[in-house]
Amino acid sequence: MYGFTFDIKDMFFYPIQHRYHPDEVDIVIVHPDYTEEHKANISHGIEIFLDNYIGELNSIIAIDNLNVTSKELATEELIPLLKLKDYLIWREKEFVEKYTDVRHLTADDTYTAFEGTLENDLPIFAIINTTLLDWDGKASHPWIVTLKISYDGTATNGMPDQETYDLMDKYEEELMNSLPNDIGFLNIGRETADSLREIYLACTEFRKASRAIDRLIEQYREILQIDYSIYKDKYWKTFERFYKQIE
């Protein structure tokens, strides 16, 4: 591929350990022909190789960060790539043992209101569970869902009218009834501005969340325009802008 070979016997890896993010699985693959000039092609080739070697879904679930380098630029002891599967299985087992039963009940949590002004001078408002932002168990809910509900706020300074506001609240309430805290789903908060509301959830796994969201999107299809994305973010870096405002 791209004029390079991706032979498991010729490649190595090493993990990067993060002092403050110990559960992050950060892997560096060492390819014998790596150069900065060919970084994009070799990186893409390795991604395809890993999808075939450990499975596409396993690659997404098991590896948080993936980089590629050469032997000359490697900063840690090299491990034969043949051992990567065993390493990832061990890390996943360690993670599961640590976090399987970790839950957070939000009944007594503190919620903070944020407000500001966008570059186009429209207002922006957010309500965020700031107790959750301080929680030390974030990694137990590594999947972040961002729901986006679009509406026409042209006549209301970018904000929803009352009817739309009530509809969005009803949707959010039904969603969280389907995805309660005690089975691994947390509502982190929401942000509203410029004809868009974003709702943020953190989940222990993504499949049930996806099914519940799809079902409700279909149910509200005629009255709300909803889209969403799910991605892994073990330490909730997505919400760093709120940490800074709290400080």
Higher pLDDT, 241 or 246: 241
Where among 54, 72, 99 does a domain terminate? 99
DSSP state of 235: T
Task: Using the predicted structure, report yes or no on whether residue 244 has a pLDDT greater than 70.
Answer: no
* 88 and 116 share one domain: no
Where among 77, 99, 121 does a domain terminate? 99
Strands (E), 98-233: 111-117, 123-129, 143-150, 185-193, 196-203, 225-232
**Three-state SS at 126:** strand
Residue 135 belongs to a domain with what CATH number?
Answer: 3.30.70.100
Is residue 245 very low, low, confident or very high in pLDDT (cuts 50, 70, 90)? low
DSSP state of 223: T
Averaged confidence pLDDT in the chain? 93
* 77 and 121 share one domain: no
Amino acid at 127: I
pLDDT in tens, 143-165: 999 999 999 999 999 999 999 99
Would you state the structure tokens that stand for residue 181, as one six-digit string? 């805290």
**155: domain range?**
111-246
* 118 and 235 share one domain: yes
| Confidence at residue 100, expressed as pLDDT on a 0 to 100 scale | 84
Higher pLDDT, 241 or 222: 222
* 69 and 120 share one domain: no
Is 195 within a domain?
yes
| Confidence at residue 241, expressed as pLDDT on a 0 to 100 scale | 85
Where among 45, 70, 99 does a domain terminate? 99
pLDDT in tens, 184-200: 999 999 999 999 999 99
Is 130 within a domain?
yes
